[in-house]
Amino acid sequence: MSRAIDSKRIQELLETNREGDFWDFKEFWYKNKADLVGDILNFANTQHHLDCYIIIGVEDATFKVIGTQDDDNRKNTQNIIDILRKIKFEGGRIPNVRVSTLKIEQKPIDVITISDSNQVPFYLTDQYKDGKVTIPAGVIYSRIEDTNTSKNQSTNSNSMEALWKKRLQLDLTPGQKLISSLKNPNKWIYQESSEVNIEYYYYYQDDPTYQIRIKQDLDDISKIMPFSFLQTDISITWYIIDLVISGTKIFDVQGVSLDGGRYFTIAPEPKFVEFINNYQSDPVKYYVLVNQSIKGFLYTFFKLKSLDSSEARMADDKFLQNIIVIENEEVLHRLENNLNRVVEASMDLLTPNEIEIESASRELKSKESGDLLYDKWAEQILITNNIAEMVNKNITKYLNF
């Protein structure tokens, strides 16, 4: 299942000032349909396990955003699907493609997302021609680094071998196969558990030895966290999520039930940043979720499984306001390297006032009893969430601060 594309992800790719093995920039929409099909085939046939993006409305030499507002050749998802359905693909397998329009720098840009698939290689059984451009039958294209295969030839033998290994999943360890299967949440079947310590589990339809087991975490963990503080009910129930193959645990992560059980998701990863003002000089936490990680894949999995009500969707929106969602570990490292300087330069903006602290402290007292420093706790929660809000508003700025 593909993730929804968002402007933050595209901004991160723009800031790289280069093209790569899963993204490309185009100044204008395709005038020739065979050129479009050729590029889709190159990105559909990649050796990695990532969705790919053709980003239109960006100069591919300067990476300046020009927008697609005046482009007469713009297409939507259905337009491209209609083109692909008229082409004879091997096995009738058509790449999964969609078009999204985003605003970057107040200008519309269009993003063609080509979903990752194990059904590679995609190729044609009959040639496809539009004008002077032809996609021959039987040739297999593949994106290698920032380069597409030439129209009149197949990719090299090493790439060809890698594509067939990907199709047969010979390029993956058992653990990687399990993670890859999370991209197909509709194939995971919910099952009540008869075991005392497991509340419920999912098994994978294609291989029932793959399981996701959910059990309550009985350790003494705080029932209130910064990422739960916008919820109608701010208390948390903690869970342990075990990813299992043939009864053997391969991975485990923490899960959380938010807003009185209305929404289940993954516990984000805590990070620390220095925070020194008139009131405190301690490191404070902020919380991140990395899309291209086990937690990121599980977040998407449970989002698709859990968003069955307006209350759950609202809880998810509030959850995302209090965490920072990052595409991959490389981008996270860039943010971590800059965040101390960002926080130091934004101290006044991030520091809550006395009224905000008092209100948050009352909320904490209503949920947690005991000999606690409520004002201190409230201030730390508000600072944490202010950091997330500030970064989310302009992540590109803070990646290059």
pLDDT tens digits, 197-221 = 899 999 999 999 999 999 999 886 7
Write the CA distances from 199 to 164, 190, 210, integer angstroms: 39, 11, 17
Position 223 scores a pLDDT of: 87
Position 9 scores a pLDDT of: 79
Position 148 scores a pLDDT of: 97
Position 3 scores a pLDDT of: 47
Name the burial class of residue 302, with classes exposed (0-12), middle (13-18) and buried (19+) by CB atoms within 10 angstroms of its CB: buried
Report how far residue 286's alpha carbon sits from residue 268's, in angstroms, rounded to the nearest whole number.
Answer: 9
41-50, 168-177, 353-362, 390-399, range with the lowest pLDDT: 390-399
Averaged pLDDT for residues 158-185 = 92
- Residue whose tokens read 């509340």: 199
73 pLDDT higher than 90: yes
Averaged pLDDT for residues 180-194 = 92
54-58, 81-85, 260-264, 275-279, range with the lowest pLDDT: 275-279
Is the separation of the CB atoms in 324 and 288 below 8 Å?
Answer: yes
Pick from 108, 85, 88, 110: nearest CA to 96: 85
pLDDT digits (tens, 9 = 90+) for 230-251: 999 999 999 999 999 999 999 9
pLDDT digits (tens, 9 = 90+) for 319-363: 999 999 998 888 898 899 999 999 989 988 999 999 999 999 999
What is the percent of the chain with per-residue pLDDT over 70, rounded to a whole number? 96
Pick from 317, 312, 177: nearest CA to 250: 177
Return the H-helix or E-strand segment holding 389: helix 374-393
pLDDT digits (tens, 9 = 90+) for 91-124: 999 999 999 999 999 999 999 999 999 899 999 9
Q: Which amino acid is at 292?
A: Q
Pick from 286, 280, 268: nearest CA to 340: 286
Position 53 scores a pLDDT of: 96
In 12-71, which ranges are E strands? 23-26, 52-56
Report how far residue 222's alpha carbon sits from residue 236's, in angstroms, rounded to the nearest whole number.
Answer: 8
Report how far residue 62's alpha carbon sits from residue 157's, in angstroms, rounded to the nearest whole number.
Answer: 33
Is the separation of the CB atoms in 188 and 301 below 8 Å?
Answer: yes
Which DSSP letter does residue 329 get? H
* Average pLDDT value over all residues in the chain: 92
Confidence of residue 1 (pLDDT cuts 50, 70, 90): very low
Q: Which amino acid is at 40?
A: I
Write the CA distances from 133 to 121, 130, 204, 227, integer angstroms: 21, 6, 43, 53
Confidence of residue 61 (pLDDT cuts 50, 70, 90): confident
